[in-house]
Amino acid sequence: MPMSVMKALAVGPGVVVSVVVVALTLAVAPAPIAAGVALVLIGVVSATGRGAWERSAAAIVLGARRLRPSERDELAAVLTALCRVGLGPPLVELRVKRSRVIGAAGAGRRTVVVSTGLIEAVVRGDLPNRQAAAVVAHSAVLVREGLTRADLLIGCVSAPWRAMRAAVHGIGRALPLTLAAWRRRVIVAAVAVVQAVQVGRMGLAVTIAAIGALSYAVPVWERQWHDLLVRAGDEGVAHAGFGDDLVAFLRTCPGTDATRARLRALVPSGTPRPALGLVTR
């Protein structure tokens, strides 16, 4: 399946739902307010979709700021390693977002956002420079390949969708019975479809069935797109010469199924591993 189709399936439903929600909200609002809000939204969306406004868009959508001079000095060795393989400034612009997680994320045409946690780990010496470069390179590869080109625009347009999902997850954590009911939504949807058919409302039945099917399909599409990005980034990191450093970093991460799958892909089964032995003098 083409990458563009996979991405459309992963992000398309959220964009459509967000546009519908905004349109319905503006439709019931007073005309002057609706017109003003619409103009503001058009301006923001236009800015996020233009490369010249990418810095401002990253600040608005991601809450990312530019590197401070002190942070640039602290990451000097990391930036040097990235520049040597064409994955650093000026081809890629690093920005910073406050987070304790050690990580990085690509967005737009040339933006890679690193966490303050990554910078702090480098400063403390907990994260070697080349491992930090491997983490950043993973996102830089995706940016360079154009896989994140429209992400700032998509993030802006789909903000209502993300807000609704966050609210649903919050309710699910607070009310476990609600979460259990959601997991069994196929039963509720089936009953609603049967009832709609019995009263002759075929359009409603089709709509309910479609919504129920999408509620299962969208997470699958999102996971497939995420897995594709992970594989593309891992392959790019290995090609850039940071494969061993990425492996070393992943071995310090929680041993989830996803992490083990990445390690198996990065370290072929036939690759010899260091053997432990007794050292004597």
Domain-by-domain residue ranges, the chain? Answer: 160-266
**How many angstroms separate the CA atoms of 127 and 122, rounded?**
5
Task: Indicate if the pLDDT at residue 281 is higher than 50.
Answer: no
Least confident range from 178-182, 190-194, 268-272, 274-278: namely 274-278
Q: Which of 178, 111, 104 is nearest to 138 (CA)?
A: 104
Q: For the chain, what is the mean pLDDT?
A: 87
Mean pLDDT of 96-123: 94
Q: What is the DSSP string of 18-80?
A: HHHHHHHHHHHS-HHHHHHHHHHHHHHHHHHTSGGGHHHHHHHHH--EEPPHHHHHHTHHHHH
> From residue 230, how far is each of 10, 258, 266 by CA, in Å?
15, 10, 12
Tokens of 213: 């099917």
Amino acid at 252: T
Give the residues across from 114 on adjacent strands: 96, 104
Task: Indicate if the pLDDT at residue 180 is higher than 90.
Answer: no
Q: What is the DSSP string of 149-198?
A: TTHHHHHHHTHHHHHHHHHHHHHHHH-HHHHHHHHTHHHHHHHHHHHHHH
Q: What pLDDT is stored for residue 31 in this prediction?
A: 83
Mean pLDDT of 168-194: 82
Backbone phi and psi for residue 64, each to the nearest 5 degrees, phi listed first: -100, 140
Q: What pLDDT is stored for residue 50 in this prediction?
A: 66
Q: What pLDDT is stored for residue 280 in this prediction?
A: 46
- SS3 of 268, please? coil
**How many angstroms separate the CA atoms of 111 and 94, rounded?**
6
**How many angstroms separate the CA atoms of 62 and 87, rounded?**
21
Mean pLDDT of 176-205: 86
Q: What pLDDT is stored for residue 138 in this prediction?
A: 96
Task: Indicate if the pLDDT at residue 275 is higher than 70.
Answer: no
Q: What is the DSSP letter of 95?
A: E
H/E segment holding residue 105: strand 104-107
Backbone phi and psi for residue 50, each to the nearest 5 degrees, phi listed first: -105, 135
pTM of the entire predicted model: 0.83
Task: Indicate if the pLDDT at residue 135 is higher than 90.
Answer: yes
Predicted confidence band of residue 273 (pLDDT cuts 50, 70, 90): low
- The number of residues in the chain equals 281
Q: How far is Cα of residue 278 from the mean position of the Cα atoms in its chain?
A: 45
Q: What pLDDT is stored for residue 10 in this prediction?
A: 92
Mean pLDDT of 136-150: 93
Q: Which region holds residue 81: left if phi is over 0, alpha if psi is between -120 and 50, else beta? A: alpha
**How many angstroms separate the CA atoms of 137 and 234, rounded?**
9
Task: Indicate if the pLDDT at residue 172 is higher than 70.
Answer: yes
